[in-house]
């Protein structure tokens, strides 16, 4: 590896790397070893030698490993990064002959003595450098990173490699998901795993992804919600408090807040109701905010938000009346509801029910105003087939959705456990689906059979984990918090 060899290399960056790879294989053999033992991470090294004085050598020999992010003075000084942080390497080709063959992006192992330079930089004086992975492609420039948003999503490895904000966001995602799991377990909930492949889809109103099981000769669906299986678990008596964190799949549109594959936390709590669930949501959200921000107060964009409870609670009919003047509780029929909506300037379908009109106007006029966290309660029964009626108001149910930054973050019920009423509502929902052309939708007889066996009164909750992470990490798009989001096919 002499100067003559270096000057013979091609001028094409990719070809240069391949030529260096060939030379390394000829001189040192294996350039992609199966194992390398390091004595500490870069962060552990920085912590251990935090008090090392300027222009001082520790005398300690350490071994670290990482990717080369920068190189100065013909490789004499390099910064290498592992997942925990960076460390500066001082090397010389006379003592570490592999140095001239190192390119930015290569992964190397370094053994040497720890010192702190006159400028205060913690450094390893390299005694040995081992090539662990020779990269064949140039690395994006660190300080500008990957500018094209679509490339960032398509090549997430490059995005995280060059963008500290993206790296931090996914580290925070892991903390949030772990925090949800610890919170639920500490609150006495048991985590279970329910099927991802369903022969009958249900638990939500959404278009499923379809597949086919060859051996069983059975059409199946990727689940749109785990609700019905979790309720069957509650019926079984396995636990009075059950939860699941997993993926749901809905074959619908993609937007800054919607991805066809997304993460939900869903739970059911026997002998509780939707007010108990409101308290749980507030405790959970506050704990997660403190975990990420050290406080229940945090910023999203230019908004200052607070997860300090109690959250505002407002019935949907009251919110709509305040926003539009329409008193839905005084309206008696579907026809009157449609007429009132049209008179207020809303375009509604000719077959919409009282509840559908109420929910539509709420989405149009109230939802965009819900910045601070709020529980919107008392939803229409005709759009809530799994929730108990509000006593004294049979058109409304004990359901709430939690909103913040105008987004729906959670959906919860006092769960319907009357088997006859549940069957009647699901039959009605099925008829409506068939009228919309959803011929593949069927009645879940196994769920109804379980409910006939007796399900305890319970409160249920579903939280959109990705949206919650967006909020807590100040992410503008759901694709910024999903490691490998759905994308369009790559164009030629």
d(CA 340, CA 33): 73
Nearest to 274 by CA among 120, 412, 433, 453: 412
- Mean pLDDT for the stretch of residues 237-241: 98
User: pLDDT over 70 for what percent of the chain?
Assistant: 96
Answer yes or no: is pLDDT of 387 > 70: yes
CB of 51 within 8 A of CB of 109? no
d(CA 356, CA 353): 5
Least-confidence region, from 195-209, 356-370, 431-445, 454-468: 431-445
pLDDT by residue (tens digit) across 31-40? Answer: 999 999 999 9
Average pLDDT taken over every residue of the chain: 93
Give the pLDDT confidence score for residue 206 in this predicted structure.
81
pLDDT band for position 300 (50/70/90)?
very high
Give the pLDDT confidence score for residue 490 in this predicted structure.
72
pLDDT band for position 356 (50/70/90)?
very high
- Mean pLDDT for the stretch of residues 413-439: 88
- Mean pLDDT for the stretch of residues 233-257: 95
pLDDT by residue (tens digit) across 55-78? Answer: 999 999 999 999 999 999 888 999
Domain with CATH 2.40.50.140 in the chain: 3-133
- Mean pLDDT for the stretch of residues 387-396: 96
Answer yes or no: is pLDDT of 126 > 60: yes
Answer yes or no: is pLDDT of 181 > 70: yes
pLDDT band for position 7 (50/70/90)?
very low
Tell me how many degrees the CA angle 430-435-440 measures, rounded to the nearest 5.
55
- What's the fold here for domain 3-133? OB fold (Dihydrolipoamide Acetyltransferase, E2P) (2.40.50)
- Mean pLDDT for the stretch of residues 344-363: 96
Tell me which DSSP letter residue 84 carries.
Answer: T
CATH architecture of the domain 162-311+372-480 equals 2-Layer Sandwich (3.30)
Number of residues that this document lists for the chain: 492
pLDDT band for position 488 (50/70/90)?
confident
Give the pLDDT confidence score for residue 396 in this predicted structure.
98
Least-confidence region, from 40-49, 166-175, 208-217, 434-443: 434-443
Beta strands in 271-365 (DSSP E): 297-300, 303-306, 312-315
Pairing of strands 122-133, 85-90: parallel
CB of 291 within 8 A of CB of 474? no
Give the pLDDT confidence score for residue 146 in this predicted structure.
67
Rounded to 10 deg, the angle between the 334-343 and 354-361 helix axes is 30
Give the pLDDT confidence score for residue 487 in this predicted structure.
82
Please, which residues bridge with residue 197 across strands?
222
Give the pLDDT confidence score for residue 441 in this predicted structure.
76
User: What are the phi and psi torsion angles at 450 (to 5°)?
Assistant: -65, -40
Give the pLDDT confidence score for residue 198 in this predicted structure.
93
- Mean pLDDT for the stretch of residues 400-412: 98
- Mean pLDDT for the stretch of residues 447-473: 98
The residues, ordered by sequence, that sit 6+ positions from 414 with a Cβ below 8 Å of its Cβ are: 273, 274, 387, 388, 397, 398, 399, 457, 458, 459
Answer yes or no: is pLDDT of 3 > 60: no
CB of 376 within 8 A of CB of 316? yes
Distances (CA, A) of 466 to 227, 288, 476, 492: 18, 13, 12, 31
Give the pLDDT confidence score for residue 6 in this predicted structure.
46
Give the pLDDT confidence score for residue 461 in this predicted structure.
98
Domain with CATH 3.30.930.10 in the chain: 162-311+372-480
SS3 42: helix
- Mean pLDDT for the stretch of residues 343-361: 96
User: pLDDT over 90 for what percent of the chain?
Assistant: 82
Give the pLDDT confidence score for residue 438 in this predicted structure.
73
Tell me which DSSP letter residue 218 carries.
Answer: E
Greatest mean pLDDT range, 6-10, 87-91, 140-144: 87-91
d(CA 361, CA 380): 12
pLDDT band for position 1 (50/70/90)?
very low
pLDDT band for position 201 (50/70/90)?
confident
Give the pLDDT confidence score for residue 145 in this predicted structure.
60
């Amino acid at each position: 590896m002499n100067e003559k060899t270096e000057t013979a290399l091609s001028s094409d960056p990719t070809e240069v790397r391949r030529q260096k790879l060939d030379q390394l294989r000829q001189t040192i053999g294996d350039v992609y070893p199966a194992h390398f033992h390091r004595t500490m991470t870069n962060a552990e090294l920085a912590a251990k030698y935090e008090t090392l004085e300027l222009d001082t050598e520790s005398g300690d020999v350490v071994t670290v490993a990482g990717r080369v992010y920068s190189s100065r003075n013909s490789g004499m000084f390099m910064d290498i990064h592992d997942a925990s942080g960076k460390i500066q390497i001082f090397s010389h080709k006379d003592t570490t002959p592999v140095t001239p063959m190192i390119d930015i992006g290569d992964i190397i192992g370094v053994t040497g003595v720890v010192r702190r330079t006159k400028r205060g930089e913690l450094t390893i004086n390299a005694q040995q450098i081992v090539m662990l992975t020779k990269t064949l492609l140039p690395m994006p420039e660190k300080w500008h990173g990957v500018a094209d948003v679509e490339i960032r999503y398509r090549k997430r490895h490059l995005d995280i490699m060059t963008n500290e904000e993206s790296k931090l966001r996914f580290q925070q995602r892991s903390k949030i998901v772990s925090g949800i799991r610890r919170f639920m377990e500490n609150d006495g909930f048991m985590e279970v795993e329910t099927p991802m492949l369903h022969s009958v889809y249900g638990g939500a109103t959404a278009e499923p992804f379809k597949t086919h099981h060859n051996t069983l000769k059975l059409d199946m669906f990727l689940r749109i919600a785990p609700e019905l299986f979790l309720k069957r678990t509650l019926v079984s008596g396995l636990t009075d408090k059950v939860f699941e964190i997993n993926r749901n799949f809905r074959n619908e549109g993609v937007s800054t807040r919607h991805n066809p594959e997304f993460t939900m936390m869903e739970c059911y709590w026997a002998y509780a109701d939707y007010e108990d669930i409101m308290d749980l949501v507030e405790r959970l959200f506050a704990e997660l905010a403190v975990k990420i921000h050290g406080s229940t107060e945090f910023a999203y964009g230019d908004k200052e938000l607070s997860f300090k409870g109690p959250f505002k609670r407002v019935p949907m009919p009251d919110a709509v009346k305040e926003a539009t003047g329409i008193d839905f509780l005084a309206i008696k029929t579907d026809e009157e509801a449609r007429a009132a909506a049209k008179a207020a300037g809303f375009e509604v379908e000719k077959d919409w029910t009282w509840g559908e009109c109420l929910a539509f106007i709420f989405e149009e006029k109230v939802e965009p105003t819900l910045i601070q966290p709020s529980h919107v309660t008392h939803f229409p029964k005709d759009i809530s087939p799994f929730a108990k009626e509000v006593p004294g108001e049979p058109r409304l149910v004990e359901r709430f959705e939690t909103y913040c930054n105008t987004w729906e973050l959670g959906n919860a019920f006092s769960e319907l456990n009357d088997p006859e009423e549940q069957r009647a509502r699901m039959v009605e929902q099925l008829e409506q689906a068939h009228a919309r052309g959803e011929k593949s939708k069927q009645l879940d007889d196994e769920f109804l059979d379980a409910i006939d066996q007796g399900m305890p009164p319970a409160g249920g909750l579903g939280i959109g984990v990705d949206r919650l992470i967006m909020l807590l990490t100040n992410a503008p798009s759901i694709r910024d918090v999903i490691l490998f989001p759905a994308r369009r096919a790559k164009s030629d």
